[in-house]
Structure 1
Amino acid sequence: MTPKPSTVRAVELDIDCKRYPEIDRILAYWRAKKGDREFPSRADIDPLEFTRALPRVMMVEVSYDSLEFRYRVAGTGLFAMHGRDLTGKLARELEPPEFGALIHRHYAEAIERRAPILHLIELTVDYLATSYARIILPLSIDGKVIDRLITCEAHEDHALALQKFFRQAKA
């Protein structure tokens, strides 16, 4: 069966926009953990310190052989949204393909900028339009090379619409 055409786009938001409390909390956490350094390391991050956000958090491993991003941890809320476990998958493997390509570009942009980035992701399939916000936070074991990314999403009241989008985009 051919997937239905979908529209996937993103708008970059001011990193300090204060519209998404959960994202604000994880950004403040990341800033506190990095201190005077450019980035915190993975060892600085304790998921027990942000348990409320965990269902919407992903840990992404960065590979520089050919720039790839592999999900090492994906929260249960993201499993529910995508209808499958993303652990071990590459960002480019996300469906629909235009969504995977967009996410891959955003991760590459965070590496290039060497800074957190906040986007509003807008998704449309058939007559369904929905959106969510996502922050990308870089981590570095040596303070130079970004080897991990943490993402946190704010779905607001859109969780069911997001589940429907990913289900319909695959059908």
Structure 2
Amino acid sequence: MAHPGHHSLKRPEFLFLKRVTLDEVPEDSLTRTAYQFWRGLIMEPALPARTDFKPEAVPRKVLPWVFLVDVIRAPDSTLDYRYRLNGTSNVSLVGRDPTGKLASEIFAKTERRFMLDSFNMTVQEKAPTFWVGAVPHDRIDQINIWRGLFPLASDRENIDHILGIAVPRPNETAT
């Protein structure tokens, strides 16, 4: 069922999402490659800034899967996220291009909570977060994914952008 004002695709709700550790992400996953790229932007323990991130420096095999969101802080301290950049494979994966839109505007109610909660955790913890999940797809029922969210902070402290990746994982039994 389509969600008016969100997107025109007819699709079911998110199937599941579970937070995992970096150790649970396979060595050969593009999510781990994206993490290594993010961590290489600046020496630990500092957080990279948006100015450290150059799309042309992203590994070629990773770039089509990444997305970049701006952290929007409302006066009441609630957070929202505006999509600034979306790789072509990421757009194909989710079936829409959210560039320029707020997460709160484009996702259906159940999707919105999942998206905002995972982004919020990354901002609050000031650290990358990793996820395994299954998302609906119109043509093949569902796609199993690995997802990584990597904070960027202009002042090296307060998160103002999140670099993310969502990539398909082999069809396997969800844990």
TM bin, normalised by shorter chain, reads: 0.7 to 0.9
**Cα distance, 1:7 vs. partner?**
4.4
**Which amino acid in structure 1 is aligned with residue 24 of structure 2?**
C
Q: 1:123 to 1:82 in 2, by over 3 A?
A: closer
**Cα distance, 1:29 vs. partner?**
1.4
Please, which of 51, 57, 62 is the counterpart of residue 49 of structure 1?
57
Structure 1, residues 3-25: CA drift from partner, whole Å, max 9, x if none? 66534321111113341521111
Greater RCO (Cα-Cα under 8 Å, separation 6 or more) = 1
Aligned residues: 158
Instruction: Answer yes or no: is the 8 Å Cα contact 1:8–1:98 preserved in 2.
Output: no
Stretches of structure 1 that go unaligned for 5 or more consecutive residues are 159-171
Q: 1:153 to 1:79 in 2, by over 3 A?
A: same
Give TM-score scaled by structure 1 length.
0.80
Asked if 1:34 corresponds to 2:42, the answer is: yes
**Which amino acid in structure 1 is aligned with residue 147 of structure 2?**
R
Asked if 1:11 corresponds to 2:52, the answer is: no
Helix, strand or coil at the partner of 1:86 = coil
CA distance in 1: counterparts of 2:108 and 2:72, whole angstroms: 22
Instruction: Answer yes or no: is the 8 Å Cα contact 1:16–1:24 preserved in 2.
Output: no
Stretches of structure 2 that go unaligned for 5 or more consecutive residues are 3-9
CA distance in 1: counterparts of 2:15 and 2:105, whole angstroms: 15
- Structure 1 residue ranges (4+ consecutive) displaced by more than 4 angstroms after TM superposition: 1-5, 124-127
Asked if 1:145 corresponds to 2:153, the answer is: no
Identity of aligned residues (%): 24
Asked if 1:22 corresponds to 2:33, the answer is: no
CA distance in 2: counterparts of 1:39 and 1:114, whole angstroms: 8
**Cα distance, 1:76 vs. partner?**
0.9
Range moving further from structure 2, 113-122 or 89-98: 89-98
Give TM-score scaled by structure 2 length.
0.78
